[in-house]
Structure 1
Amino acid sequence: MLPSLLAGLGLGFSLIVAIGAQNLFVLRQGIRREHLLAVVAVCALSDAVLILLGVSGVGLVLQAVPWLIVVVRWAGAGFLVGYGLLAARRALRPSGATLHLDTSTSPSAPTAGGTTIQTRPARTTLTATVLTCLALTWLNPHVYLDTVFLLGSVASTHGDGRWAFAVGACIASLVWFSALGFGARFLGRWLDTPRAWRVLDGIIAVVMFAIALSLVLPH
């Protein structure tokens, strides 16, 4: 069983580490230190459900209804374009930011009386954050291709060890999202400026548009 578990762990890491919409969202939430535990939990649990569905043979059922993947592809592309537009708006016109008063000594924007004003992105609610995370996960056809189809197919070659393979892949998902999200918190000290947030949102917008385009272009 150990070889199957290690195989699932290795393949899980190799598939999940690539830059994508889900990873960028976790990274952004980690830097903002906003609802991070909920985001990591949603991503890890969603991956676990999809991996277990793939190993159980659901991928074979989905292959019988190819139109379902087409629907998910276009819905996902539309959502990614919308999310990319919001990120682009934040990058070009960060008018949705809030003002944070900081009385500590800081080189940024001192005002009368020695109080420092720093511009930070406006906080989002837990519900909105979780719904966005769910959409970025479940409306992304690449997630189904990687977890349900690919991991499910490879797991089937391990025979009785396929469930150990699935456990390894689930562990890889949990470790990766935890490391990405909570590790990103330490980047906050270097990215806690309006300019840095605009650059990050600009990168997010470009990646979202690129992924959306890749979903609708002929394969």
Structure 2
Amino acid sequence: MAGGLRRLALALVRLALALALLSVAWVAAYRFVDPPATSLTLRDRLQGIPVMRQPVPLAAMSPALARAVIAAEDSRFCAHRGFDVEAIEAAIESNREGRRLRGASTISQQVAKNAFLWPGRTWLRKGLEAWFTIWLELLWPKARVMEVYLNLAEWDRGVYGAEAAAQRYFGKSAARLTRSEAARLAAILPSPIARNAARPGHFTARYARAIEKRMRVVETDGLDSCLRR
């Protein structure tokens, strides 16, 4: 009986190690290969929703777009190693005081979720997100993290990535986005189905103007320095 339990435990350890190594190899592969699909694109296809997605290199996107998402989503993107400890502490304090629940996910964490996992708030999913975040920060340069983020982000039902979003809302390539257009795209990311970058409502337009102001700080203070060539 004891020998059987030891064999079972050994088999489980080997399985866990194999899965861990496979996940690291998966992360390493995506440093060079664009993710062919995500849980969201698969969901849309299963529901019969046409998917617009055309991955392009970061160099083929306006630098304003990366500055806009850093300004809106993750001002310490170039400084942290996947987790923004200050933002996490601020979120914990805010939630403890009973204010509106706030998250503290970095762009790196969102890439881990979008590229490898599924939406959700379970402890299992958050634990896997942390695991993948650690490895993509170890194996990818920051420019690749941003590139994959911008190529996977959902900007409307069935619209994924900066190129598809630029065509959908402004009828142009992502390379030709202006500062204000980039800010409006960043402004709809928290709620891409309800908001419209081409015809923003009052709240979205105001938020986009605030993002555009922060973009100047991102540029002048070098908060996007890890992306500059």
TM-score range normalised by the length of the shorter chain: under 0.3
Using the size of structure 1 for normalisation, the TM-score is: 0.25
TM-score normalized by structure 2? 0.25
Higher helix residue share: 1
